[in-house]
Structure 1
Amino acid sequence: MASLAENSLPDNYTGLQFHSSSSPPTLVSLKTPTPTAGTVIVKPLYSIIVQYANQIFTNGNPRGYKYPLPIVPGGSCIARIAAVPSDATSLNPGQLAFVELTVRSREDPNIKVLRSFNEGPTEATRRLMGGWRNGSWATLMNAPLESVHALDEGILVGKLGYKLEEFGSLSQLVVPYGGLADADLKPGETVLVAPATGSFSSAAVHVALAMGARVIAMGRNETALAELKNLAEPGRVEIVKISGDFEEDLNALSKFGPIDVYFDISPRPASTSSHIKAGILALRAGGRMSLMGGIPGDIGLPYWHISLNGITIKGTFMNTSQQAKDLIKLVERGVLKIGSRAGMEVAGKFKLDDWEDAINAAAARGGPGKSVYFTPNAE
């Protein structure tokens, strides 16, 4: 039996539905899902619009993401819980929650999809996406129980003074936390984040600092690097510009001593970038490399250096449910700062029917430390 809150759910809800990536979406009325076992119903308050949404759902989908049609996009969001299933043991209607982008198979949590964005490469991932095709660009959404994380509003809002809209940055922070945690980053260690000036890579700098590490931030955007250097007291964040020359990059990194962890979150075009080989060679004996980037092809690796020095290379796709909960604890304890006090800002808030302005604003104003939202149920 579902929570009694199900009785107060409307018969239908409104979603921003796309029938193709080359035609405008429409606001449609959809049947409200039932909170069956393992499924929560939420009311999205602040639904993230990723900076490159215009390259996925409009303009012919130049990124080539695969998703079923028709579809209501929207992955992660800050929401109120509207109804819970009978097997929910801690979530309750009315609670504030962070809903993840990632959906994991309950039979095999290693099978994951990016909800309403990319159905993945296999029959298993396509089947998984089928049940979660409609996302948070809507007035209601169903979500896997394990992907819904309660936020302690009394602490976060009452004691720490955050605004609800500031919690949207969790969607950027939780991804690199997965890779850094998998690499077993420890307090006092030195971690190279390269590149470090994108949405998720700059978030990795914030997370690594909260985990107690010293950070070497590497990138091409000198203005963004300077902003990262100012995140902490002198010596906690060092910056290196990617030169395009491997030896020059390695010499620059060597000035900071042996590196314990190299966190790489390189974008698609970076397969031949000088920073990758330099980062690996800068690792100490026994060092670890975390691969979380989006390079679709192969990269060259210094084979002998890796084997001789016992370098561990760990790949991570997104994060686990428990890692999301652990990250939220860092915020609730005041260890990881978010929002304006961490230099993060809300760059735009839009109603669903203003979809074109919203997607254009995300492309123009989104990016590192900046969130653009749909507000289907703004409080």
Structure 2
Amino acid sequence: MKAALLKAFGTPLSIEQVDDPVLGTGEVIVDVVATRVLSYADEVFSGARNYLLNLPAIPGPGAIGRVRAFGPDATHLKQGDWVYCDPTFRSRDDARSPDITLQGWSAGGDGGLRLQKHFHHGSWAERTRVPTENAIRIGELSEADATQWCALGTLLVPYGGWLAADLKAGETVLVSGATGNFGSAAVAVALAMGAGCVIATGRNETVLADLVRRFGPRVRTQTLSGEEDIDRERMKQAAPGPIDCVFDILPPGVSPNVVRAAIMAVRPYGRVVLMGGVGMSGGPGLELAYPWIMRNCITIRGVFMYPPDAAIRLAGLVRAGLLSLDQFETTIFDLDRANEAVTHAASHGGPFKMTVLRP
């Protein structure tokens, strides 16, 4: 089969013929129809992000495709079924604390690296192999629809955060970092789940205004000044009432002061979810006052990705018309132009923009 192969960090992808994936028990082979190119793929492939990925490898986390073959443990899948290939692969021998590897992307520590040795390759190929539980049936699609359904990969990340926050219909929530790709998706998902009001914060006034244009008066915005105390008070003033939950998804390199300004805008007995990358590039850590957390009964939860059943639940929101994939503007490349796709994604990584490979 044809695949894009990363042989060494800092080198271009090589498009070549490789062996087809071999089916094992507990696995599914999927014909890849469409797969995302993340906006920071160039940083991963250059080695700048220092992700744990043993090379050479076919990169690519997740895909939309059709079932080609499956093992004897699958009792519902049929050949030709449309599936979302969930890239969050979990070890199966400890349900409470599984090791995780992101397909064709990065491993979560030593255990994740061991898992990556088996599920080594990603989705930037004509076919991919995933654990049985990661082939999520999403119902009938047209070939053209597969491109838009790649947006599940973006939407699932904030969806996992809102599930961890136990978001309830009618609540007021704040998205810290709402002008990025995942942050804007967090706004859309919160509204689809029934949030009464979303406070969207960021520095890009144009993007903030576009969120209001897209989603209407349930979105209120606050442009950041960079002054922590001032920003915190403005966030509170932008809300129609107490802020029930703060969701942070700011990228690496942002000052922890920006995160803290948002976190400490939450009401007493409120919840905070941290899903961003602040601190991953070094620098000071996030300092929060112990007495403030304790006396106000604040729940702070770190969240990585989403629970195993999230993809099917999110697909249900889409099928019900509560979450529109048409918000996403897509640019399509074939597999032979994978390097061009990586360059394009890096310069077109804004809100509701998606670069897609169609092998």
- Name the TM tier (shorter chain): over 0.9
1:32 aligns with 2:15: no
Q: Encode CA deviations 1:208-236: one digit per residue, 9 max, x unaligned.
A: 000100210011111111111123332x1
- For residues 86-125 of structure 1, the aligned pairs below 5 Å read 86-109=72-95, 110-121=98-109, 123-125=110-112
138, 142, 158: which is aligned to 2:125?
A: 138
Measured in 1, the distance between the counterparts of 2:164 and 2:302 equals 9
1:250 aligns with 2:232: yes
Count matched residues.
350
206, 218, 221: which is aligned to 2:201?
A: 218
Task: Indicate if the aligned counterparts of 1:73 and 1:136 stay in contact, CA closer than 8 A.
Answer: yes
Q: Which residue pairs with 2:155 in the alignment?
A: 173
User: Secondary structure of the residue that 1:45 maps to in structure 2?
Assistant: strand
Measured in 1, the distance between the counterparts of 2:339 and 2:234 equals 44
1:237 aligns with 2:219: yes
Measured in 1, the distance between the counterparts of 2:216 and 2:181 equals 22
**TM-score when normalising by structure 1:** 0.88
285, 301, 314: which is aligned to 1:327?
A: 314
User: Secondary structure of the residue that 1:301 maps to in structure 2?
Assistant: coil
User: Secondary structure of the residue that 2:244 maps to in structure 1?
Assistant: strand
Q: Encode CA deviations 1:85-133: one digit per residue, 9 max, x unaligned.
A: 1111222111111112211111235321221111232x21110111112
How far did 1:75 drift?
Answer: 0.8
Q: Which residue pairs with 1:67 in the alignment?
A: 53
Q: Which residue pairs with 2:165 in the alignment?
A: 183
Measured in 2, the distance between the counterparts of 1:46 and 1:157 equals 12
1:370 aligns with 2:358: no
Greater Cα offset, 280-289 or 178-187: 280-289
Q: Which runs of 5+ in 2 are unaligned?
A: none
Task: Indicate if the aligned counterparts of 1:116 and 1:134 stay in contact, CA closer than 8 A.
Answer: yes
How far did 1:44 drift?
Answer: 0.9
How large is the RMSD of aligned CA atoms in angstroms? 1.7
State the identity %: 39
Measured in 1, the distance between the counterparts of 2:142 and 2:209 equals 30
Q: Which runs of 5+ in 1 are unaligned?
A: 1-12
Q: Encode CA deviations 1:34-70: one digit per residue, 9 max, x unaligned.
A: 332211100111111111111111xx32222221011
Q: Which residue pairs with 2:65 in the alignment?
A: 79
Measured in 2, the distance between the counterparts of 1:106 and 1:166 equals 31
Counterpart AA for 1:119: A
Task: Indicate if the aligned counterparts of 1:152 and 1:332 stay in contact, CA closer than 8 A.
Answer: no
Task: Indicate if the aligned counterparts of 2:34 and 2:358 stay in contact, CA closer than 8 A.
Answer: yes
**TM-score when normalising by structure 2:** 0.93
Measured in 2, the distance between the counterparts of 1:260 and 1:320 equals 22
